[in-house]
């Protein structure tokens, strides 16, 4: 029944349109780099569509079915700037769309090797879904999912008008936050929280405080290389530390670089309040060892440090 309903929507909304010409915005960021907050602020300030928790939960294989209802109530959705290790709470809140993306790409490990390309016959469905949602909202859909950091080549080829936003964070802060998530979410500092790089098997041989550092390094290397090769003129880089100081101004600057956005639309107020640092669930020795490891490998890792940090 859902497939039939989706077919009707596609026929009504697309009507022979060139769906490959559809714009979309993909937020990229390694784990614990502030991508969720940036995602929330972006869709709030620019009033852009996204996959909601409701769509991800009840209709991940046909997420477009929720688009008409979402559009109807869009102006009344109060986007919250809170999350728990990347997860938001609320039916209409922005989702990382794990189930939706899994439907198109799968979810096997190592992610960089096993889940970096579309599943058979899924590329057309993703493009048609984003095109239909673009018709409903009159604006490009924003997607944020860490696994997409290893899918840049596939997405860029499937959607020539896709634009990528890479949110970065100082290596020490992101690695420590990733370590905290391992303790809090997995209960084991040796367990990965998200997508895995191609060399994850060898990284597992390292101490856990080194694993989270090298995980950040592998993400950054993959994102940088693929953006340069496949989307050199279709991406922007945002440092989380700079974003926190001037969130509205930075998003406005990014918006001016994206030709798919309507620059005359009204903006919503955007003010972020400082959140108290949560208690760290890892022992102090982990933090000491992590800092020491980064210093010992400074020549290789210095590019991952925020200059003002």
CA 75, distance to chain mean position in Å, is 23
The 235-239 sheet, strands edge to edge: 141-144, 24-28, 162-168, 235-239
Q: Are 5 and 58 in contact (CB under 8 A)?
A: no
Give the DSSP letter of residue 185: I
For the chain, which residues make up each domain, given as ranges?
A: 2-304
Cβ-Cβ contacts under 8 Å for 193 (sequence gap 6 or more): 31, 85, 178, 181, 182, 185, 186
Give the DSSP letter of residue 71: H
Cβ-Cβ contacts under 8 Å for 283 (sequence gap 6 or more): none
CA distance 236 to 167: 9
DSSP-derived secondary structure for 154-180: HHHHH-TTEEEEEEE--HHHHHHHHHH
pLDDT of 77: 96
pLDDT of 263: 56
CA distance 208 to 190: 5
Q: Are 246 and 308 in contact (CB under 8 A)?
A: no
Would you write out the chain's pLDDT as a tens digit for each of its 309 residues?
Answer: 899 999 999 999 998 788 999 999 999 999 999 999 999 999 999 999 999 999 999 999 999 999 999 999 999 999 999 988 888 999 999 999 999 999 999 999 999 999 999 999 999 999 999 999 999 999 999 999 999 999 999 999 999 999 999 999 999 999 999 999 999 999 999 999 899 999 999 999 999 999 999 999 999 999 999 999 999 999 999 999 999 999 999 999 999 888 777 655 678 888 887 766 677 899 999 999 999 999 999 999 999 999 865
**Tally of CB atoms within 10 A around 278:** 10
Q: What fold, for 2-304?
A: Rossmann fold (3.40.50)
Q: Could you identify the residue written with the tokens 């925020």? A: 306
Of 208, 177, 147, 175, whose CA–CA distance to 84 is shortest?
177
pLDDT of 216: 98
**pTM exceeding 0.75:** yes
pLDDT of 276: 63
CA distance 202 to 221: 16
């Amino acid at each position: 029944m859902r497939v039939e309903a989706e077919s009707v929507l596609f026929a009504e909304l697309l009507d022979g349109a060139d769906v490959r010409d559809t714009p979309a915005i993909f937020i990229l960021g390694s784990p614990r780099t502030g991508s969720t907050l940036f995602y929330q602020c972006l869709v709030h300030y620019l009033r852009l569509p996204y996959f909601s928790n409701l769509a991800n939960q009840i209709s991940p294989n046909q997420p477009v079915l929720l688009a008409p209802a979402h559009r109807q109530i869009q102006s009344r959705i109060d986007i919250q700037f809170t999350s728990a290790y990347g997860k938001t709470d609320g039916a209409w809140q922005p989702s990382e769309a794990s189930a939706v993306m899994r439907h198109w790409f799968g979810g096997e490990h190592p992610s960089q090797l096993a889940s970096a390309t579309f599943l058979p016959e899924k590329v057309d469905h993703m493009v048609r879904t984003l095109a239909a949602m673009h018709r409903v909202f009159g604006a490009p859909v924003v997607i944020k999912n860490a696994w997409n950091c290893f899918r840049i080549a596939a997405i860029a080829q499937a959607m020539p008008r896709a634009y990528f936003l890479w949110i970065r964070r100082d290596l020490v802060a992101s690695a420590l936050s990733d370590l905290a998530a391992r303790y809090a979410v997995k209960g084991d500092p040796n367990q990965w929280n998200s997508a895995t790089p191609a060399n994850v098997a060898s990284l597992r041989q390292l101490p856990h405080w080194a694993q989270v550092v090298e995980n950040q390094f592998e993400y950054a290397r993959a994102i940088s290389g693929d953006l340069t090769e496949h989307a050199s003129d279709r991406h922007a880089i945002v440092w989380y530390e700079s974003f926190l100081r001037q969130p509205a101004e930075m998003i406005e600057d990014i918006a001016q670089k994206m030709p798919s956005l309507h620059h005359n639309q009204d903006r919503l107020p955007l003010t972020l309040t400082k959140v108290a640092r949560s208690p760290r669930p890892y022992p102090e020795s982990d933090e000491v060892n992590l800092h020491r490891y980064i210093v010992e490998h400074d020549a290789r890792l210095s590019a991952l440090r925020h200059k003002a940090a």
